Amino acid sequence: MLDRYVFKNGKKMRYGYTTGSCAAAASKASTFMALNGQIISKIEIDTPKGWKLNLEIVNPKILDDGSAVCYVKKDGGDDPDITNGILVGAKVKITDNPEIIIKGGKGVGIVTKPGLYLPVGSPAINPIPLKMIKSEIKKILPENKGVRVTIIVPEGEKIAKKTFNPKLGILNGISILGTSGIVEPMSDEAFKESLAIEFKMLVQKGIDKVVLVPGNYGEEKAVKYFGIEKRYIIKTSNFIGFMLNKCVELNIKKALIIGHIGKLVKVSAGIFNTHSKIADARREIIGANLALLGASSDVIREIFNCITTEAAVNVIEKYGYSLVYEVLCKRAEERCMDYSYGELEVGVIMFSMEKGILHIGDNAKKILEEFK
């Protein structure tokens, strides 16, 4: 159990750790056991958040063929989801070929449709967990040795039926996820309150312009691509409308929103809580704007068959309708300024994971100059 806490809305809430951290820990532990022929009960790993985790190993075994297997129990802290409490394991076989090969076993989903961050046919282990697994194994693996790792989630197939995976074309199991390795506890109201407190502290330092980012990728683009100082950046999660209201309340004059097309396409249609449970009309919004640009019914139909906005971006590029990004950014800027009753100047920058920056809105170009 992770003994770290955060206070939100006066309530003490415990952090947890992701399925990605579980997979990395189980992989490292199994590698150690296979190398040394020794059972262990705990293993330490690093996380992208910068925190170390010392996790308990469940059901460790060294098998007759010299391979090893063990599990780590997922702990969602005070933000439990459907995967809370499940076992995530790894079976590791040491090889003489100095290569780390990672496969999905029982309970790990298989990608069957394009448009996700992973190729069709691959196990649904997201890029950052994959990187974590390899990094932790490399810390203990001799240079002349390699491993074959199979990630296992015994209850994965059953649990996946209660997730969005089947709709996304991820079959037979769950996805191994996590961008920071850590699960931050939150209720909507508590999380919004913590965002508001962070915002107030920022304004007290004399800031009158901000960069709003839904998540880690937006922050990365702001810092690495546009060279914006982190002190200007505020995360919004899905609560873009709430944070626009806070901008007005705290007398912020200019806000630059940098986000993935999957979030900002909703904003272009006036949807200011971008959680999929609140509203998910991404294909319909993209399709309607393409139709206004003269796209044929065949193109619109292809958009409607996409399971993600990344897949929709590929269709847009294929048919040469990149102008739609400009339209969506313009509409998003207008919607945000209407939402804040003209009291806030808002610029929008939209990106895709595969294609990078898709468009910088006209207002965004002006506001970017303010941060130089």
Interval 37-68: pLDDT, tens: 999 999 999 999 999 999 999 999 999 999 99
The values of phi and psi at residue 184, to 5°, are -90, 125
Q: Where are the beta strands (DSSP E) in 47-201?
A: 52-56, 58-62, 68-73, 87-95, 100-104, 107-108, 110-111, 146-152, 170-171, 173-174, 182-183
- If pLDDT is split at 50, 70 and 90, which confidence band does 10 have? low
- Please give the share of the chain, as a percent, with pLDDT higher than 70: 96
One-letter amino acid for residue 330 of the chain: K
Q: How far apart are CA 218 and CA 176, in angstroms?
A: 21
Q: Is the pTM of this model over 0.95?
A: no
Q: How far is CA 364 from CA 243, 246, 253, 336, 360, in A?
A: 17, 19, 13, 12, 6
Long-range contacts of 286-291, Cβ-Cβ distance < 8 Å, separation of 24 or more:
286/312, 286/316, 286/324, 286/328, 289/324, 289/327, 289/328, 289/331, 290/316, 290/321, 290/324
**Given this model, what pLDDT does residue 171 score?**
95
Structural tokens at position 358 = 């898709």
pLDDT tens digit sequence for 69-119: 999 999 999 876 889 999 999 999 999 999 999 999 999 999 998 777 789
What are the structural domains, with CATH classification, of the chain? 5-183 (3.30.2110.10), 188-370 (no CATH)
- Please give the share of the chain, as a percent, with pLDDT higher than 90: 77
Average pLDDT over residues 280-294: 96
- If pLDDT is split at 50, 70 and 90, which confidence band does 157 have? very high
Structural tokens at position 118 = 């992973």
One-letter amino acid for residue 27 of the chain: S
Q: What angle do CA 292, 296, 298 make, to 5 degrees?
A: 135
